[in-house]
Amino acid sequence: MDLGLDGRVAVVTGASKGIGLAITRALVAEGVRVFAGARESSEQLDELAEQGSVQPVLVDLSTAAGPAELVAVALKGGGVDILVNNVGQVSPRLNGFLMVTDDQWLHSINLNLMAAVRTTRAALPAMLAAGRGVIVTTSSVNAFLPDPGVIDYSAAKGALTNFCKALSKEVGPSGIRVNTVSPGPVATDLWLGTSGVAEEVGRASGRTPETVAQEAADMSVTGRFTRPDEVAALVVMLASDRATGNVTGSDFVVDGGLTTET
């Protein structure tokens, strides 16, 4: 199916690895020019850049100015038709709520919520002027499945999903669609890499990272983690007016049946 995205311009945050890299790759495959925001590039992102449809923009999206810097580069390079708020981070809190510091709370809220708020604030005026635009944000099942082991992350993602729903009601009449995608565990370095969730939980509990990961996978009906490209395919579909032109204010769960209600 031709999604009608050829020639569009997108901004993707957290684009150098994991889900963000997969989204960038999937958008490029549909003919989209991508401004890929990340604090550091990666070999895979550089390879995409060499093909000519991706421009890495190295900014710190956790700062107040970073998101606007990213969007400014995109606006100079052709505008912003699609915004994918993907940047985020999770750190397991294995010693209980009382041991989570203010700095840890603020870091999680800043990167998982405020980076999306700031990037959206920078991109929205151009979309409003054009009378169209799409914003897709990577949230998490933890937005509605609170977990004490990631208590600050869960709270930030809950706020993120709420923000996107509220915004969809404001900007929908102006031709701008806003949706969220909420994955469960995804096979990325965030979960499976060095110092990822599986390794940190395993170290604290005396189990191997492989055991922790398998236990997490077994909680899903499908018995496996979601692949980054599966999340990316859904994001690209939501970016298409042809495929989902009247879909806004919705949250799409990609978790292999992990959650039974939302």
Domain over 9-184+227-253 is classified CATH 2.30.42.10: no
For residue range 30-55, list pLDDT tens digits in order: 999 999 999 999 999 999 999 999 99
pLDDT band at 75 (very low <50, low <70, confident <90, very high): very high
Residue 143 contacts residue 122 (beta carbons within 8 Å): no
For residue range 222-232, list pLDDT tens digits in order: 999 999 999 99
What predicted TM-score, i.e. pTM, was given to this entire model?
A: 0.95
* CA pair distance 34, 25, nearest whole angstrom: 9
For residue 110, the tally of other CB atoms under 10 A from its CB is 18
- Dihedral of alpha carbons 42, 44, 47, 49, sign: negative
Query: What are the residue ranges spanned by the domains of the chain?
Result: 9-184+227-253, 187-225
Active site amino acids:
153
What pLDDT was estimated at residue 236?
98
Mean pLDDT score of the chain, rounded to an integer?
Answer: 95
What pLDDT was estimated at residue 203?
87
Amino acid letter at 183?
P
pLDDT of 261 strictly over 70:
no
For residue range 164-183, list pLDDT tens digits in order: 999 999 999 999 999 999 99
